[in-house]
Amino acid sequence: MGQVHHPNAPWYINAICTWALSIVIFCGRIRDLFWKRPQTRKGYADLSDQREDFYNRRMYRRIHDCYNRPIASAPGAWIDVMERVDIDGRAMSTQPDLMGGTRRCLNLGSYNYLGFAAADEYCTPRVLDSLAEWGVSTCSARTEAGGWVAGVVVGCCCCGSC
């Protein structure tokens, strides 16, 4: 296989990201100086490591709302995201309350961001035809049920003997 080249970010982007993360960690450590961690009862182990606990409390909970978004539609090229509001108004709320409305958004973060799994006039008939012809999967070793034509073709193309 050939060498894969990954482009590097410019130095100033690396510097800004490192500086921003350093500030967040520094402020979190300062807050931890004044925050007393609950003591574990004698004879019991801690439920979480202090590093994990620091990450959850000081970093992840502050931005979890950006990532944990419930959707109300199939994950196609466009999705309906459910609107939410914090129950107690705090930024660190772990259980936001659903407001009942949805917002139509372009799907840039799902496993189906290209929309191949959504029902459309182009992909759906072709997928159903290929499922009818080839089945869902091979589900067996080549020595037990023989070779699969599409698998042999792909194997030959990968080896360069097509």
Taking the alpha carbons at both ends of the chain, their separation in whole angstroms is: 16
Reading the chain (162 residues) residue by residue, the pLDDT tens digits are 567 777 888 999 999 999 999 998 999 889 888 877 777 788 888 777 777 788 888 888 777 777 777 888 877 778 888 887 766 655 445 556 667 788 998 887 777 656 666 677 877 788 788 888 877 776 777 777 777 777 778 778 887 766
- Rounded CA Rg of the chain: 25
**Whole-model pTM above 0.85?**
no
> DSSP label at 39?
P
> DSSP label at 76?
S
